[in-house]
Amino acid sequence: MTEQNTVTDDYDSPWKEAVELYFPEFMAFYFPDAHACFDWSQGYTFLEQELRSVIHDAALGKRFVDKLAQMKLNNGAESWIYVHVEIQASRDSSFAKRMFTYNYRIFDRYSLPVGSFAVLADDHPHWQPDHFGYEVGGSRLYLEFPVVKLLHYSEQMDALLASDNAFALVTAAHLKTRATRGKSHERFDAKYTLMRTLLTKGWSGERIRPLLKVLDWMLYLPTELDRQLWQDIQQSEGEAIMAYVSSIERIGIEKGVLQGESRFFRKLLESRFGTLPAWVLDKISSAPVRDLERWGEAFLSESSLEAIFDDSAIH
């Protein structure tokens, strides 16, 4: 018999945070050949508003996580290139077309090379689109992009837990979250193993704490089970991890504050616009505090939901 979790599992927000925090490790883990081509010493810049502007009017299906980064190759060239990353959580017949469309729109905007990379986080083992294009009378336009399928890591759990790459643990957490959907006690065991593995890696606090937040966010447990989990970890590992456990308690407080702000902002919108459409509820439910604050400011000056949530208008 299975148990129902009290809230829907949140994949979007922790994946976004993980990619932003550990982008070099993301590329090294999933796309090692591409990682070796980039000059990481020159840094990289995420272009959130630029990506929103490029795809603003593209009705190409629901996106899970997408990122656009500006960086340089390690071949000595002076010019920047662009890297578009998409993480897709469900099977979507328009996905390959979307990758194609984003690639040519980004190229059209910047007139510089664009690399496209996809991580498929869905439950369909044989769905793995990796190209899109067409040919007319000998004229051919075609995009082929590297694809990683997370399900293919399902039989490599021991290797994932032993890896020193942060995204090995993110991958393990994603797979365990899906495998334990509606099974709180099985998730308890999976989360205990992952958290204890991370805490005993010997990594610095600066490296561990953000990843603790991501894994805690992804592997949601009811409050009582979550409290029991951290008590068990403290008893198992002793005083050595108390600083990290304290950080988890602060994360819990932050999550509570965020949930409160989300509820308040939703009530504000409902007071003006009535019943909210699903796309607005999706945005609010997964938004960090900084986005809620920005949309709250737009609420004071804009007259429509579309204008309030129009990220491309932010400079």
Give the 3-state secondary structure of 41-110.
HHCCEECHHHHHHHHCCCCCCCCCEEEEEEECECCCCCCCEEEEEEEECCCCCCHHHHHHHHHHHHHHHH
Question: Would 280 be classed as within a structural domain?
Answer: no
Instruction: Give the residue ranges of DSSP H helices in 140-241.
Output: 157-162, 166-179, 184-199, 205-218, 223-237
Distance CA 222, CA 180 (A): 13
Question: Would 213 be classed as within a structural domain?
Answer: no
For a pLDDT cut of 70, what percent of the chain falls above it? Answer: 85
Distance CA 191, CA 196 (A): 8
Number of Cβ within 10 Å of residue 192's Cβ equals: 18
Using pLDDT thresholds of 50, 70 and 90, give the confidence band for residue 242.
low
189 three-class SS: helix
Question: Would 311 be classed as within a structural domain?
Answer: no
pTM recorded for the entire structure: 0.76
Boundaries of domain holding 42: 32-145
The arithmetic mean of pLDDT across residues 55-77, rounded, is 76
Using pLDDT thresholds of 50, 70 and 90, give the confidence band for residue 76.
confident
For residue 191, with 0-12 CB atoms within 10 Å meaning exposed, 13-18 middle and 19 or more buried, which class applies? buried
Question: Would 17 be classed as within a structural domain?
Answer: no
Which of 54-75 are b and which e, b meaning 16 or more Cβ less than 10 Å from the residue's Cβ?
bbeeeeeeebbbbbbbbbbeee
Question: Would 154 be classed as within a structural domain?
Answer: no
The model's pLDDT over 243-284, given as tens digits with 9 standing for 90+, comes to 776 666 666 656 666 676 788 888 889 999 998 988 898 888
The candidate with the shortest Cα–Cα distance to 80, out of 88, 91, 68, 90, is 68
Question: Would 73 be classed as within a structural domain?
Answer: yes
Q: What is the pLDDT of residue 4?
A: 40
Using pLDDT thresholds of 50, 70 and 90, give the confidence band for residue 2.
very low
User: Number of folded domains in the chain?
Assistant: 1
Question: Would 104 be classed as within a structural domain?
Answer: yes
The model's pLDDT over 109-157, given as tens digits with 9 standing for 90+, comes to 999 999 999 999 999 999 999 999 999 999 999 999 999 999 999 999 9
Maximum average pLDDT range among 9-23, 56-70, 117-131, 262-276? 117-131
Asked if 49 and 100 count as a contact pair (C-beta separation under 8 A), the reply is: no
Asked if 51 and 1 count as a contact pair (C-beta separation under 8 A), the reply is: no
Which CATH number do you get for residue 132?
3.30.300
Question: Would 224 be classed as within a structural domain?
Answer: no
The arithmetic mean of pLDDT across residues 158-178, rounded, is 96
| 276: its two tokens | 């909210």
